[in-house]
Amino acid sequence: MKQLFLICVSLFFSVNSLAAQEGRFVQKDNIFPRVEIVTSLGSIVVELDRSRAPITVNNFLTYVSDKSYQGSVFHRVERDVENDRDFVIQGGGYDKDYDGLHENDPIFNESGNGLTNDMYSIAMAYQDREPHSGTRQFFFNMDDNDHLNPGRDWGFAVFGSVMEGYETLDKIMAVKTGFNDKIGYNFVPEKPVVILNIKVLEQVPL
């Protein structure tokens, strides 16, 4: 009987531990949770929008809760050279050695939610032109990227916006980049820009 009780207690804490790692349980009554992204070049505060992008926000918060983003890098710092403007800063998917990180199941693309890829918004990345392949990588729009919004085809789902730390993004945008043989991408920072931590900020009472 005692052994059965211990098993039940163990299962209870295991289930609750797992639930605590799911983004939907992170400040579950807060429609606009805020996170601070601490990088090797400074911090960025982002307000997430559960009202428009609940799936994407909860997915992002799951990785945050698991501390899965710690030690990942921004692997893509791209300028639109032809039009002489900034484009995107993308990260969250590789470590500083550019090895891919663990991915949970892909999520539904919420790009038709009314949020647009304006400057300093945060959006979900997807792979190989497969709109519902997004897992953990995200990007910041560093200009108004209207062509990333949905039209007849799927776009990229915006799920929040930058509230503080614009200067940090500008610092990242200014780093020297080049081609990386390992991942086969251009616009990769020559010196890794590391995400040291992402933490959920305390909810401000209304």
Instruction: Report the pLDDT value the prediction gives residue 204, as an integer from 0 to 100.
Output: 75
Q: Which residues pair with 160 in a beta bridge?
A: 48, 122
* Dist. CA 3–CA 156, nearest whole Å: 51
If DSSP codes are grouped into helix, strand and coil, which group holds residue 18?
helix
pLDDT digits (tens, 9 = 90+) for 84-135: 999 999 999 999 999 999 999 999 999 999 999 999 999 999 988 899 999 9
The count of structural domains within the chain is 1
Tell me whether residue 103 is in a domain.
Answer: yes
Query: Which pTM does this prediction carry?
Result: 0.88
In a domain, 118, yes or no: yes
Other Cβ atoms less than 10 A from the Cβ of 21: the count is 17
Residue 113 contacts residue 157 (beta carbons within 8 Å): yes
The answer to whether residue 205 sits within a structural domain is: no
Residue 92 falls in which region: left (phi positive, over 0), alpha (psi -120 to 50) or beta: left
161/49 Cα distance (integer angstroms): 8
DSSP state letter for 203? P
Q: Identify the pLDDT of residue 27.
A: 95
CB under 8 Å to 23, separation ≥6 — which residues?
57, 58, 59, 60, 61, 62, 63, 64, 65
Report if residue 98 sits inside a domain: yes
pLDDT in tens, 164-202: 999 999 999 999 999 999 999 999 999 999 999 999 999
Residue with tokens 């200067």: 167
Which pLDDT does position 29 carry in this prediction? 94
Q: How confident is the model at residue 78 (pLDDT cuts 50, 70, 90)?
A: very high
Domain that holds residue 107: 2-200
Instruction: Return the percentage of the chain with pLDDT > 90, whole number.
Output: 84
The mean of the pLDDT values for the chain is 91
Residue 145 lies in a domain: yes
Which CATH number fits the domain that encloses residue 106?
Answer: 2.40.100.10
Q: What is the pLDDT of residues 63-73, one digit of tens each?
A: 999 999 999 99
Whether 89 maps to a domain, the answer reads: yes
